[in-house]
Amino acid sequence: MSKIQVSAKMKIIHSMLEEFKQQAAKCISVVKDKDPGTLQYDWFLSSDKTECEIRETYESSEAFLAHISNLREPLRILFEKFASDHSVHIYGEPSPELLENAKARGIDVKIFSFLKGL
């Protein structure tokens, strides 16, 4: 099993910032309660508060798939009402099941394989 890092980006729908923040808090609460394989789940707002980036780390592809399953409803609401232009960058070696899941959901995903580091 290898860790998977994720950067998810989205735009916040105009004049929906407070509602977006409330829905983000619901997502974080679900992760705290149901996602033991989630090692990092940090939400960041751009300085003009029009975009959000979530930095995520999972123990494995399986932990990421469990996360997606646990957040199905809160994320549906987030993207239906408060956010748009969702894209995901995955860093690491995702499993074929994870790639199939992303493809089936129609998410714009870009995969980055590790080259070299410290």
Q: Read off the amino acid at residue 99.
A: L
Whether 117 is in a domain gets the answer no
In-domain check, residue 22: yes
State residue 107's pLDDT score.
Answer: 78
Q: Which domain holds residue 40?
A: 4-112
Total number of domains constituting the chain? 1
CATH of the domain at 49: 3.30.70.100
- Contacts of the segment 104-110: beta carbons below 8 A, 24+ positions apart: none
Task: For residue 118, tell me if it sits in a domain.
Answer: no
pLDDT in tens, the chain (118 residues): 589 999 999 999 999 999 999 999 999 999 999 999 999 999 999 999 999 999 999 999 999 999 999 999 999 999 999 999 999 999 999 999 998 888 888 777 899 999 999 9
In whole angstroms, what is the distance from residue 117 CA to residue 113 CA?
12
Mention every residue, 6+ apart, whose C-beta is less than 8 A from residue 101: 65, 68
Please give the structure tokens belonging to residue 29. Answer: 């609460």
Residue 8 forms part of a structural domain? yes
pTM to 2 decimals? 0.92
Any bridge partners for residue 84, and if so which?
Answer: 11
Bridge partners of 57, per DSSP, are 5, 40
In a domain, 33, yes or no: yes
